[in-house]
Amino acid sequence: EAAVTQSPRSKVAVTGGKVTLSCHQTNNHDYMYWYRQDTGHGLRLIHYSYVADSTEKGDIPDGYKASRPSQENFSLILELASLSQTAVYFCASSAGGRSQNTLYFGAGTRLSVL
């Protein structure tokens, strides 16, 4: 099965500080995604990437930046963390081409902004 590894698994950050969440996949997948999970909102798409060195905005990109320096790595950056960004963040990857495009998720990063 696809392997997506997120780090750290949990983090406490201060309001106004910078936070970087990392994601590494070993599936040779072209596509990678960042979602956040909040109770009552399900999973919402923040940023995604189809190829290294290129990122796209998802449905809730405000306050977040993304970076894809290689096919395997995808980071989510909070330049100025705010209380409203407290959530669980999930990274996912999927194959390209004519595949079914099932998304494979990591175990998540629980972020608390104080």
Partner 1 sequence: QQKVQQSPESLIVPEGGMASLNCTFSDRNSQYFWWYRQHSGEGPKALMSIFSNGDKKEGRFTAHLNKASLHVSLHIKDSQPSDSALYFCAVRRQGGRALIFGTGTTVSVSP
Query: Which listed range, 20-28, 31-39, 64-72, 79-87, lies at the site for partner 1 (CB under 8 A)?
Result: 31-39
The Cα 31–Cα 95 span in angstroms is 6
The Cα 36–Cα 105 span in angstroms is 12
Whether 114 contacts 49, CB under 8 Å: no
Q: Which is nearer to partner 1, 78 or 90 (CB)?
A: 90
Q: Is residue 60 within the footprint of partner 1 (CB under 8 A)?
A: no
Q: How far is the CB of 66 from partner 1 (least distance, A)?
A: 13
Whether 44 contacts 30, CB under 8 Å: no
Sole binder of partner 1 in the list 80, 101, 112, 114 (CB under 8 A): 101
How is residue 91 written in tokens? 């990274």
> Residue numbers of the site for partner 1 (CB under 8 A)?
4, 31, 33, 35, 40-45, 48, 50, 56, 58-59, 90, 92, 94, 96, 100-108
